[in-house]
């Protein structure tokens, strides 16, 4: 929905005022809008003849004021934090390391980091599976049980 302009300089009373939009009905069906001045109630036939007030937005910022891109991590550091690790598990209540089964934060790091596969998460039904679990399911063999 677009916002309709309200501020006008009335052609009849010359006041700096607002435009009132009143709906017109035939029975219970809306047939249009009546456009009139809020000060003197002068009715405009169409929206084209309404003298809307000129919008003069101040030019406060220019291209030199734009913020520069902030890079917190160097490329070597970026790949070694938990949120990029294949063992990182997120659920609505906590974030855990799947390798050590301890609570971690997304920006923690450890020496046993394993990078995720570059492809996005794979979907099985409505459950998102990590690359390691998906590979196990695709191979058809479970390592611990030996089930095929």
The model scores a pTM over 0.95: no
Half-sphere exposure of 18 (CA within 13 A, CB side): 6
CATH code assigned to 73-116 = 2.20.70
Mean pLDDT per 10-residue interval, the chain, length 148 residues: 79 92 94 93 92 84 82 67 87 89 88 74 50 54 50
141 and 148 in contact (C-beta within 8 Å)?
yes
Domain definitions of the chain by residue range: 7-49, 73-116, 117-148
3-state secondary structure of 75: helix
3-state secondary structure of 81: strand
């Amino acid at each position: 929905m677009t916002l309709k302009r309200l501020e006008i300089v009335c052609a009849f009373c010359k006041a700096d005022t607002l435009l009132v939009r009143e709906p017109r009905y035939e029975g219970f069906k809306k047939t249009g809008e009546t456009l009139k001045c809020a000060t003197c109630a002068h009715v405009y036939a169409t929206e084209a003849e309404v003298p809307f007030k000129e919008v003069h937005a101040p030019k406060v910022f220019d291209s030199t004021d734009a913020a520069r891109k902030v890079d917190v991590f160097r490329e070597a550091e970026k790949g070694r934090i938990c949120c990029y690790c294949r063992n990182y598990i997120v659920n609505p209540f906590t974030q855990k390391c799947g390798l050590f089964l301890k609570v971690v934060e997304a920006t923690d790091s450890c020496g046993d980091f394993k990078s995720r596969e570059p492809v996005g998460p794979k979907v099985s039904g409505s459950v998102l599976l990590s690359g390691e679990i998906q590979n196990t399911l695709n191979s058809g063999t479970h390592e611990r049980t030996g089930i095929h």
